[in-house]
Structure 1
Amino acid sequence: MADEDTNQPEVAFKRVMLKISGEALMGDLGYGLHPPTVERIAREVQSVHNLGVEICMVIGGGNIFRGLQGSAQGMERTTADYMGMLATVMNALAMQSALEGLGVFTRVVSAIPMDQVCEPYIRRRAVRHLEKKRVCIFAAGTGNPYFTTDTAATLRASEMRCEAIFKGTKVDGVYDKDPVKFSDAKRYDRVTYDEVLQKHLGVMDASAIALARDNNLPIIVFSLDEPGGFKGILAGQGTYTTVHD
């Protein structure tokens, strides 16, 4: 174990936010949670945690319920968004279970108080968890309708003084068009916040990008499907796109 520690790479960041979609937890399923996929992502988080990096997480809820889709089908938007927030709590609890099964101490912190299930969001307490090397999973978005989990991730990353947001996706960075549909799509190594907004590159929603820009918070977009990708980027390896000024 000692030899493994001495060979650990020097990491670029000491405290980061990992933002993933709820769909990332589905695996090959069309809905819900795929336990082997949840465990695989938990192992990616564990590998970074073992480097001594303090980790925050925000997980979307689209694998269970997406407020915007519910609203489009006639449901009142505020109600639909609150249902989506509850879906993120379910995903956070699933990830907590997987991480703690790997021996990683984890706290789920919810913007909507539900004391029997998880902690309410108190900034100073959450910071203390990170200082004690616990993974903090922030659930229930911002606690307000009309805000996405992208915005929640950027807000919590700013409050926790994270050094970067890691956005795990199905592709290895930001492209000028959908690389799944277009074989000639070109990947950016680096792109500015304003370019993301002007070119509608779809990294995060406009509110999240603007908040990251205002707080000088870089966003690193990488493939969550690449084994070891999260850890590799922290060691300066792998393929990804950095969003920054």
Structure 2
Amino acid sequence: MAADGTGLKYKRVLLKISGEALMGNREFGLDPEVVGRIADEVKSVMELGCEVCLVIGGGNIFRGVSGAAKGMERTTADYMGMLATIMNALAMQSALEAKGVPTRVQSAIPMATVCEPYIRRRATRHMEKGRIVIFAAGTGNPFFTTDTAAALRASEMDCDAMLKATKVDGVYTADPMKDPNAKRYDRLSYQQVLTDNLQVMDAAAITLSRDRGIPILVFSLYDPGAFAEVVQGRGKFTIVED
């Protein structure tokens, strides 16, 4: 496939990665080998001519909801979670740039010493120039998850699709790791995800994606080459759309 994106089904995408995905087999923190492997996947897609931006969760370092559940004031806990996403974004930036991929981190919480503030037009220009953009600190507001932040940034960047990387190759009726009889969906509607309470993303993210007409593709980032397959409309994934 040509590096100008000819033949790609999705030419500009947002990849949502959970913070837990960066842990590997560790109980918390980052596994450099896993971060490097994800960087390889992102690089391979960029080399196809696809414009890529990322949102990474912070659950491997701190989860706002968990902090609130243990008695911490929810707003403070959520801000701590946002700071965790900045740490993950910087780690991913370092891994990508070590592989020769120009990357910019933009934070919804101004932190000029370590990254750029989020500016939509600047982010779009970075992507047009072939740079990876990592959006950190969620929406910059408490009570909103990084799922919602991903849907928001995908909308603002006019992405063709939002891709959610998970441990399994799509959405199932139950956790396939625990239930061998779980069945995989090839296609779902936004409404079905909401009605059946399927844990694809939170309801705000699903609703925003539906309103903006952005398909959500759920796939396994643990399968080498899966990200590149999905942006070409191939491979195994579940698509959520109308």
Structure 2: 5+ residue runs without aligned partners? none
1:147-188 alpha-carbon deviations (Å, 9 max, x no partner): 000000000000000000000000100111111111111111
Counterpart for residue 156 of structure 1? 153
Give the CA deviation at 1:10: 2.3
Match of 2:82 in 1: 85
The residue aligned with 1:29 is: 26
TM-score (norm 1): 0.96
**1:48 is the counterpart of 2:57:** no
SS at match of 1:202: coil
2:168 is aligned to 171
Rounded to whole Å, the distance in 1 between the matches of 2:179 and 2:10 is 34
Identify the residue that residue 142 of structure 2 maps to in structure 1.
145
1:39 to 30, 36, 40: 36
Q: 1:170-207, CA deviations, whole angstroms, 9 ceiling, x for partnerless residues?
A: 01001111111111111110000000000011000000
TM-score, normalised by the number of residues in structure 2: 0.97
Confirm or deny that 1:186 pairs with 2:183. yes
Distance (whole Å) between structure 2 residues aligned to residue 184 and residue 36 of structure 1: 32
1:9 offset after TM fit, Å?
7.6
Structure 1 segments, 4+ long, off by >3 Å, are: none
SS in structure 2 at match of 1:242:
strand
The whole-number CA distance in structure 2 between the counterparts of 1:221 and 1:125 is: 28
How far apart, in 2, do the equivalents of 1:19 and 1:228 lie?
16
The residue that corresponds to 2:73 in the other structure is: 76
2:69 maps to a residue whose letter is A
Q: Within 5 A, what are the aligned runs for 1:179-218?
A: 179-218=176-215
Partner of residue 233, structure 2: 236
What do residues 58-102 of structure 1 show as CA deviations (whole Å, max 9, x unaligned)? 000000000000000000000000000000000000000000001
Please name the residue that 2:95 is paired with: 98
Work out whether residues 112 and 143 of structure 1, in 8 Å CA contact, stay in contact via their aligned partners in 2. Answer: yes
Displacement, 1:237? 2.2
Deviates more, 1:172-181 or 1:78-87: 172-181
Q: Deviations over 1:107-128 (max 9, x none)?
A: 0000000000100011111111
2:125: which partner in 1? 128
Q: What CA RMSD, in Å, does the superposition of the two structures yield over aligned residues?
A: 1.2
User: What's the offset of the Cα at 1:234?
Assistant: 1.8
C-alpha contact 1:55 1:136 (8 A) present in aligned 2: yes
**Whole-angstrom CA distance in 1 between matches of 2:231 and 2:136:** 24
Q: Contact (CA 8 Å) 2:55, 2:134: kept in 1 or not? A: yes
How many residues of Structure 1 are paired with residues of Structure 2 in the alignment? 241
The percentage of aligned residue pairs carrying the same residue is 66
Measure the CA separation in 2 of the matches of 1:156 and 1:124: 12
